[in-house]
Amino acid sequence: MMTEKERNTGIDLMRLIAALMVVAIHTYPLASLSETGDFLVTRVLCRVAVPFFFMVTGYYVLPGCLEIGKGSRKLAGWFRKTALLYGAAVLIYLPVNLYAGRLEGLTAGAVLRELLWNGTFYHLWYFPAALLGMGLTVFLIRWLGMRKTVFAVLILYVAGLLGDSYYGAAVQAAPLKAFYEWLWQWMDYTRTGLFFAPVFLCLGLVLRKQKPLSGKQSGIGTGICLGLMLAEGMVLHRFSLQRHDSMYLLLLPAMYFLFSWVRTWRVPAFPKARQMSALIYLIHPLCIIAVRGVGGALGLRWLLVDNSLVHFAAVTASAAVLSAMPGILHRRKEALSDGEK
């Protein structure tokens, strides 16, 4: 029987894989080879990445936030750290937004909407979604209990699903069309802390309390569910039903089996995986800008930008190197300190 510590090394490895999937979503690695192949990889398979991050939070953080007595303090501490990270990210990307003219003409209401729902840069939506999703999930569990909360967050996910990949079908019903038209006044997508994050936070908590499936069971389940999700994505894309492509019906069982499978992986410990994956997620858009700039300056745009695989590789490599730098500098500092003793 594997220990919890050993299972967690698999989760750490998957953090890095998920971060690279997010890079792929934003760089379209197969676009210059196959439009269909790129859609299947980046718009379907790689959609497991962000739910995995939410499930990790549900797996590690949510149980402590529900403890009697200490839970509120732990939740407040997590909120503080996440909000500070979000604030830092907003400031990091502020010059880019100013340069691109994205802030011109924005009203106070529009700024608030960006901060609360969309994020101020295209990947930063994760942070307000995590904050709202965690607060809502803890509230629901304390108020309704776990079983009723699971039912509630599934209903919210279905509502989000109808505003995402199944939007073209949903708006055929007049009441749903009116509802979503009202909703778009407040948010651009349903992949938010209201509709998207809670179900995966709960799923992480459920798996924390549940006896793990065997590697064989969970691996087969993952393969079947991802295969069906690819088929689902192709059908939805073929009939132009998707308003966005973050939410799939098969994503829920796929994440259940994938996370279960990851827990059984026997891999070496990688203590810096959490830090590196977070940094890759945070800084990779800056690396995209840098790679594009270097390509233009050196006359290598044909290679570093137009070749989608090379573009993905260059952005990934630069993000990985930059994310590893804090650990390298820390170890060097420790080595110098030891040498002076």
Report the pLDDT value the prediction gives residue 330, as an integer from 0 to 100. Answer: 57
Domain assignment of residue 226, yes or no: yes
Secondary structure (3-state) at 310: helix
Domain assignment of residue 214, yes or no: yes
Report the pLDDT value the prediction gives residue 284, as an integer from 0 to 100. Answer: 97
Reply yes or no on whether the pLDDT at 2 is more than 60.
Answer: no
Report the pLDDT value the prediction gives residue 204, as an integer from 0 to 100. Answer: 97
Report the pLDDT value the prediction gives residue 6, as an integer from 0 to 100. Answer: 45
The 10s digit of each residue's pLDDT in 9-33 is: 899 999 999 999 999 999 999 999 9
Domain assignment of residue 93, yes or no: yes
Domain assignment of residue 288, yes or no: no
CA 191 to CA 184: how far, in whole Å? 12
Domain of residue 73, residue span? 57-264
pLDDT higher at 268 or 217: 217
Domain assignment of residue 190, yes or no: yes
pLDDT higher at 335 or 139: 139
Q: If you average pLDDT over residues 113-138, what whole number do you get?
A: 94
Total domains present in the chain: 1
Q: If you average pLDDT over residues 141-151, what whole number do you get?
A: 96
The 10s digit of each residue's pLDDT in 42-89 is: 999 999 999 999 999 999 999 999 998 899 999 999 999 999 999 999
Report the pLDDT value the prediction gives residue 68, as an integer from 0 to 100. Answer: 87
Report the pLDDT value the prediction gives residue 339, as an integer from 0 to 100. Answer: 56
The encoded tokens of residue 91 equal 């400031």
Domain assignment of residue 129, yes or no: yes
97-111, 165-179, 284-298, range with the lowest pLDDT: 97-111
Report the pLDDT value the prediction gives residue 326, as an integer from 0 to 100. Answer: 77
CA 197 to CA 209: how far, in whole Å? 19
The 10s digit of each residue's pLDDT in 248-262 is: 999 999 999 999 999
Report the pLDDT value the prediction gives residue 103, as an integer from 0 to 100. Answer: 81
CA 248 to CA 160: how far, in whole Å? 10
pTM above 0.75, yes or no: yes
Reply yes or no on whether the pLDDT at 4 is more than 80.
Answer: no
Percent of the chain exceeding pLDDT 90 equals 81
Report the pLDDT value the prediction gives residue 328, as an integer from 0 to 100. Answer: 63
The answer for residues whose C-beta is within 8 angstroms of residue 58's C-beta and 6 or more apart is 137, 200, 201, 202, 203, 204, 205, 208
Reply yes or no on whether the pLDDT at 5 is more than 50.
Answer: no
Average pLDDT value over all residues in the chain: 92
The encoded tokens of residue 335 equal 């080595």
Report the pLDDT value the prediction gives residue 39, as an integer from 0 to 100. Answer: 97
Domain assignment of residue 89, yes or no: yes
Report the pLDDT value the prediction gives residue 332, as an integer from 0 to 100. Answer: 62
The 10s digit of each residue's pLDDT in 181-215 is: 999 999 999 999 999 999 999 999 999 998 889 99
Handedness of CA 195, 14, 313, 291 (dihedral sign): positive
Give which of 212, 54, 214, 56 is closest to 136, Cα–Cα.
54
Domain assignment of residue 211, yes or no: yes
